[in-house]
Amino acid sequence: MYQQMRNLEIRPGTSGFYGICVLVLIFCYGLILPVTGNLSPGKWLATVIANVLPILLCAAAARFLLLRFVFSRPPAVQLLIHLLAGLLFSAVWFFLLMVMLGMINGNGFMTFSVRPFQGPAALWQMMQGATFYAVVALLAYVENLQGRAVTPTDAGDTVSNTPRRVFVREGDETRPLDPERIIQVVGAGDYAEIVTLSGKHLIRKTMSELEAMLGPAFLRVHRSHIVNIDRVERLEPAGSGRMTLHLANGEAVMASRSGAKAVRERTV
């Protein structure tokens, strides 16, 4: 347990980092709310949840959409999307917060009325929502930068020419896996899922660690995808400089612009 905690990465994109963010958020609200009024322990806990849960739901949705659809677009388009998304984030968060507070202060979860803040209080809440969105967007941007595919020039510094063996668990046993059998690697937080024709294996390795282990036949074409170039059946343009890679197991992987560039530099 202690060794696992020592190996836990704390950086944007990892479960450890976002777990700490949630704890800090809960701690801050838990510390501030008693100042606003005399709350019983039960009411205090319910109010903390009512304030934190809408933020987590909106932040998770914003992070997913930013990483999946926004950061691959031109800067001018991103700026426009951020302006609109910030307003939408604030409005949805404010609505959910008012509903949650109405449920807590009403006669029950089925019979309650929503009385939204008005005037300066409403503007203050909307400004908080915009601030929360800015923080989420910044963390997602850092996460996106960390996960960008390296170019072949950069890869020479980090990727060994001779792939190292990867060990995976099969039942109660741990066995070596020949890298040539690997079709792709999919990132899953602090873990990675190795995909072969015979199945999938979840191992506790980061994408960066596996990228360095697997050798030059493997390219990181997306922040969460490493593919075996020898297992790519065909390539297909996907617009905006991106590319779809069709793999030997029938799956398709969308390469980012930098990942697509790295693939093109491998073609003749």
**pLDDT above 60 (res 7):** no
Domain boundary among 146, 179, 194: 146
DSSP state of 216: T
**pLDDT above 50 (res 163):** yes
The arithmetic mean of pLDDT across residues 216-227, rounded, is 90
The mean of the pLDDT values for the chain is: 84
122 with 156, same domain: the answer is: no
The number of folded domains in the chain is 2
- 153 confidence band (pLDDT: 50, 70, 90): very low
37 with 102, same domain: the answer is: yes
In this predicted model, what pLDDT tens digit does every residue of 50-75 receive, in sequence order?
Answer: 999 999 999 999 999 998 889 888 88
What is the DSSP pairing of strand 242-247 with strand 252-255?
A: antiparallel
Distances from the Cα of 112 to the Cα of 44, 53, 55, 96, angstroms: 18, 19, 21, 14
113 with 208, same domain: the answer is: no
- 92 confidence band (pLDDT: 50, 70, 90): very high
The arithmetic mean of pLDDT across residues 124-142, rounded, is 94
In this predicted model, what pLDDT tens digit does every residue of 188-207 receive, in sequence order?
Answer: 777 889 998 888 888 888 88
Select the more confidently predicted residue: 119 or 160.
119
Under a CB-based contact definition with an 8 Å cutoff, are residues 30 and 48 in contact? Answer: yes
The arithmetic mean of pLDDT across residues 165-191, rounded, is 82
Q: For residue 214, give its domain range.
A: 152-264
182 with 133, same domain: the answer is: no
Q: Report the 10 Å Cβ neighbour count for 220.
A: 27
114 with 246, same domain: the answer is: no
Percentage above 90 pLDDT, the chain: 41
Q: Which residues are CB-neighbours of 65 under 8 A, at least 6 positions away?
A: 85
Under a CB-based contact definition with an 8 Å cutoff, are residues 89 and 130 in contact? Answer: yes
Domain boundary among 115, 146, 177: 146
83 with 203, same domain: the answer is: no
**pLDDT above 70 (res 111):** no
Torsion, Cα 63 15 146 194, to 10 degrees, reads -110
**pLDDT above 80 (res 151):** no
108 with 193, same domain: the answer is: no
pTM of the entire structure?
Answer: 0.57
172 with 98, same domain: the answer is: no
225 with 169, same domain: the answer is: yes
198 with 255, same domain: the answer is: yes
The arithmetic mean of pLDDT across residues 130-142, rounded, is 95
The arithmetic mean of pLDDT across residues 220-237, rounded, is 91
Tokens of 24: 């800090």
Predicted pLDDT of residue 140: 92
Percentage above 70 pLDDT, the chain: 87
80 with 105, same domain: the answer is: yes
Select the more confidently predicted residue: 83 or 215.
83
Helices of type H across 37-173: 41-65, 75-105, 120-146, 152-158
Q: What is the three-class DSSP state of 185?
A: strand
198 with 70, same domain: the answer is: no
Predicted pLDDT of residue 189: 73
51 phi and psi angles, rounded to 5 deg: -85, -35
Q: How far apart are CA 198 and CA 241, in angstroms?
A: 32
CATH of the domain at 260: 2.40.50.1020
DSSP state of 149: P
DSSP state of 69: I
Cα–Cα–Cα angle for 32, 130, 11, rounded to 5 degrees: 75
Predicted pLDDT of residue 155: 43
Q: Which residues are CB-neighbours of 47 under 8 A, at least 6 positions away?
A: 29, 33, 39, 101, 104
Domain boundary among 120, 146, 172: 146
Predicted pLDDT of residue 119: 87
Q: Residue 15, exposed/middle/buried by CB under 10 A (0-12, 13-18, 19+)? A: middle
